[in-house]
Amino acid sequence: MAPPPPPPRCATATTTAHHSLLGSPTCLARPRRRCCAVRAAVAVQAEAQAKVSLIRIGTRGSPLALAQAHETRDKLKAAHSELAEEGAVEIVIIKTTGDMILDKPLADIGGKGLFTKEIDDALLQGRIDIAVHSMKDVPTYLPEGTILPCNLPREDVRDAFICLTANSLAELPAGSVVGSASLRRQSQILYKYPSLKVVNFRGNVQTRLRKLKEGDVHATLLALAGLKRLNMAETATSVLSVEEMLPAVAQGAIGIACRSNDDTMMNYLSSLNHEDTRLAVACEREFLSVLDGNCRTPIAAYASRDKDGNCSFRGLLASPDGSTVYETSRTGPYDFDIMVEMGKDAGHELKAKAGPGFFDSLQ
């Protein structure tokens, strides 16, 4: 006689459960606890997936860069309710070449793009969605596939003088050492105060202030915009007027880039754009572009809206030792196309004044 067929799986499970119940009254609860634990784990995983960042902000890791990234994040959250949710906006820190090599002048390690290249690469590779930059660090060209549709409202463009023994550059004794990594600052200092000495002085704001306190230099100059964003404006001994120290191109301006095919990010960024700042920065960067400025070329420029609502522009080109300085100015309607043309025309004027030999000597 053939053996009877095995009982169905459900019958076996029922029988096993029945015998287990006879042997130990607590065993029946264990599968239920495991089931609950699995459900809980699935729920936690689903919740985590629901909190995937909608925007990943790429930035350098210095305190100032992070302050700018946080300002961008806060503005995005305030403007868009879906971004106000916890975890909707993530800040991703990216180390750049400029951050890693601090013992050499910028001109000696590549010049353009030292503080932006790695961030641009992360943007193009899709590891971040937007990139927050100090506009004065951004080369006049943008990598193919990226766009910079947004400038936040510009901060104070002036430079701050910081010293423990004097109230201004004019008060420094002959032979005093001023620390600065900027040839723009160096050239203007030496042009007006040839008895001073300027040495390469790199690092973030906190590092430079520490070196100053330790006596490495007698004084230094920092962008007032950076001090304000770090809530450290009180560390400034005095503030230099733009007449005494013309700012760097786009100083005090934050730029935010995204991929050129990312309509979602472009829409987010367009809501933050400050048009007056965008136009001023475009004017200054056109001036810089014509002069093909790099870290070996002291160049300064400032475009702003005057009391009559027009654009007032000043530009400067100098030799690093301050022995030669060329300046120009323009005034015209506060209009994008006109302001770009103003910057371009001013650049060509100074380029012609300086002559090709001037730029060859800076290589």
pLDDT at 114: 72
The domain defined by 159-239 folds into: D-Maltodextrin-Binding Protein; domain 2 (3.40.190)
Amino acid of residue 56: R
pLDDT, tens digit (0-9, with 9 covering 90-100), for 95-124: 887 655 555 555 555 556 777 889 999 999
Residue 44 confidence (pLDDT) = 44
| Angstrom distance (rounded) from CA 182 to CA 190 | 12
User: What homologous superfamily does CATH list for 275-362?
Assistant: Porphobilinogen deaminase, C-terminal domain (3.30.160.40)
Q: Coil, helix or strand for 225?
A: helix
Q: Among the residues of the chain, which ranges form H helices?
A: 9-23, 29-50, 63-79, 97-100, 117-124, 183-192, 205-213, 224-229, 263-270, 275-291, 336-354, 356-360
Distance, in Å, from the CA atom of 280 to the CA atom of 304, rounded to the nearest integer, reads: 6
Fold of 52-152+253-273: D-Maltodextrin-Binding Protein; domain 2 (3.40.190)
pLDDT at 102: 54
**pLDDT tens digit sequence for 178-195:** 999 899 999 999 999 999
Single out the residue of 134, 150, 131, 146 nearest to residue 271, CA to CA: 150
For 346, phi then psi, to 5°, come to: -65, -40
- Residues acting as catalytic residues: 137
At 50, list the tokens: 């629901």
Cα end-to-end span (Å), the chain: 103
* Token pair recorded at residue 66: 């992070």
How would you classify the pairing of strands 130-134 and 254-259? Answer: antiparallel
Is residue 66 within 8 Å of residue 59, measured between CB atoms? yes
Tokens matching residue 120: 């641009």
Q: Quickly tell me which residue has 């910079």 as its tokens.
A: 148
Say if residues 250 and 285 touch (Cβ distance below 8 Å): yes
Give me the mean pLDDT over the 344-352 stretch: 97
pLDDT tens-digit map of 246-303? 999 999 999 999 999 999 999 999 999 999 999 999 999 999 999 975 567 899 999 9
Q: Which residue has the tokens 């909608």?
A: 54
What does the alpha-carbon distance between residue 315 and residue 326 come to, in Å, rounded to a whole number? 8
Quick one: pLDDT at residue 226?
Answer: 94
User: What percentage of the chain exceeds 70 in pLDDT?
Assistant: 80
The answer to whether residues 173 and 193 touch, using CB atoms and an 8 Å cutoff, is: no
Domains 52-152+253-273 and 159-239 share a fold: yes
Distance CA 294, CA 2 (A): 93
How confident is the model over 121-166, as pLDDT tens digits?
999 999 999 999 999 989 998 999 999 999 999 999 999 999 999 9
pLDDT mean across residues, the chain: 85
Domain spans, the chain: 52-152+253-273, 159-239, 275-362
